[in-house]
Chain A
Amino acid sequence: MYGRKACELVKEFASVGKGQLTQYNSDLFEQVVAECSQHHLELQSLIRKMQEEGLDVQTARNADHYGALIHHLSLVRNKRCLMAYVNNRAEIIRSLLWKIGSVLPKEIEEKFSHTEEEYFNKYSGELKKYMSKMELDLTVDMVPPKDPYIKVRVLDDIGDGIVLSDKTANFARHSIHFLKRTDAEQFISRGLMEELTG
């Protein structure tokens, strides 16, 4: 059936979670491209046949006309699927720059096609140019800011003279402190402190 491979390609793109990328399927992609060329050959040969029969290609409505129309529509459908595949992947590729940065882990980069790799690097450059013109890094601060300080209770004897980014503190067990979130997180994640609310 015409268009089945293109449909598979698009389905494959959509089969993973939103924002996720599948391996660029150049094999299936090229098969769809080949199908397009085949449609075009058939389309041309039908038109040639009509011309040889002395029919006006613009107005004749015989079986060959409808045959040619089907090849044309199938080709257009395949084109739309190929474009949707590349364009939607491009959208995800751009979002990776926002989420991860301009250096991607190998596992992700391996999923790109060669031109996608090029596209990612160019896009990264364009965004950098815009941001330097605005003198503002737009890739930070993705969620609204919170108070940089939190209140914590010490759960274990951590010790005296602990050096933090803005002060030196003594953390006796059960004492309550007001710390920078970034300083406190290392202790919280080790179970040595808890955040207090209310």
Chain B
Amino acid sequence: MASSSMEGSMPTMDEYEALLSTTDVELLKRAWRSEKAAPEILRYDFDLVGRVTEQLQLMEETVDEKSTSGADPLSLSLYQMDLDRTLFLLRSYLRIRIQKIEKYMFHIRKSDELWNRLSKGEKDFASRCIDDLKHHLEESVLSKLPENYQSVEKQSVISEEDDMVPEPRLDTFVLCRSKEYLSGIQLEDGPVEDRSKLFEMEPGVLYFICYKSIKPLVESGKIDLL
């Protein structure tokens, strides 16, 4: 990738950063950071995870090959480190998602929008976890309560909404950075008199802002969470 530009002059720092930002590892790192910072579960990047998994497999084969062919142990240990770093990133990304799914499974299951953010594997996992936890709660608590109070989702039959389901707090503050100049962001929370004010974001500057207000911009990839 860098080989042709390396021949002549050394690339500058900016070129290097542009170069690095295009690797799938860098994209995965962004997805990992956003997932970690966002209070709710974000869209599963199926293509990205697929590409990274493929590169990991290729690299594992290369490292195996090199180690049996008696390649230079120095470069071998460096390749192994690169592999370990990428593996950690992928594991940590999938782990954070699993943690969020476990914490908010009933809530995620209720909404098609949230449910469709999960991968096929995550959906299967979540469905089984919901059954297990529901069964556990029924056995331990609900079956022992009077009939009108036996719902997992509702406090009692007279509850109009699902008032027993844990939900992520979308009005929590997050730290974010925009790639481009954004204007006209509607603040959805806060004192009423401030809500009509539009907010703007300069590129590269860090903002602490209520997650709810920038949620669509996170989803469209315009803003990265840190």
Contacts and interface: CB of A to CB of B under 8 A. Distances in A.
A and B touch in the complex (CB under 8 A): yes
B102 interface: yes
Interface stretch (B35-43, B89-97, B175-183, B216-224): B89-97
Given A76-B155, A113-B140, A130 B145 contact: no
Interface in A64-121: 72, 75-76, 79-80, 82-83, 86-87, 90-91, 94, 113, 115-116, 118-119
A136 B77 contact: no
A107 to B, nearest CB: 22
A148 B73 CA distance: 13
Contact of A147 (B81, B103, B129, B141): B81
Interface string B85-109: 1011011101100100011000000
Contacts of B145: 33, 36, 75, 79, 82
A133 interface: yes
Interface stretch (A11-19, A138-146, A155-163, A185-193): A138-146
A123 interface: yes
Contact of A138 (B91, B103, B166): B91
Nearest to B129: A126
Nearest to B101: A130
A38 to B, nearest CB: 10
Given A36-B146, A79-B149, A86 B129 contact: no
Contacts of A76: 149, 155-156
Contacts of B121: 130, 133-134
A111 to B, nearest CB: 14
B139 A145 contact: no
Contact of B133 (A40, A119, A145): A119
Given A115-B136, A133-B121, A75 B141 contact: no
Given A36-B146, A115-B139, A145-B81, A79 B129 contact: no
A123 B146 contact: no
A141 B139 CA distance: 35
B144 A91 contact: no
A148 B80 contact: yes
Contacts of B54: none
The size bracket of the interface on B is 35 or more
A138 B149 contact: no
A129 interface: yes
A119 B132 contact: yes
B71 interface: no
Contact of B77 (A75, A91, A94, A148): A148
Contacts of A134: 94, 121
Interface string B139-154: 1110011100100000
Contact of B125 (A90, A122, A126): A126
Contact of A86 (B85, B102, B136, B155): B136
A175 interface: no
A37 B143 CA distance: 12
Contacts of B149: 36, 40, 75-76, 79
Contacts of A148: 77, 80-81, 84
Contacts of A127: 98, 125
Interface of A: 33, 36-37, 40, 72, 75-76, 79-80, 82-83, 86-87, 90-91, 94, 113, 115-116, 118-119, 122-123, 126-127, 129-130, 133-134, 136, 138, 140-141, 144-145, 147-149
6 contacts: A40-B149, A83-B164, A91-B103, A130-B122, A147-B81, A148-B77
Give the 7 A-B residue pairs with the shortest CB-CB distance, closest first. Answer: A145-B84, A40-B146, A130-B125, A119-B136, A115-B139, A122-B132, A33-B144
Given A91-B102, A127-B98, 20 more contacts: A33-B145, A36-B145, A36-B146, A75-B145, A76-B149, A79-B149, A79-B156, A80-B155, A83-B141, A127-B125, A129-B124, A130-B122, A138-B98, A141-B87, A141-B88, A141-B91, A145-B81, A148-B80, A148-B81, A149-B77
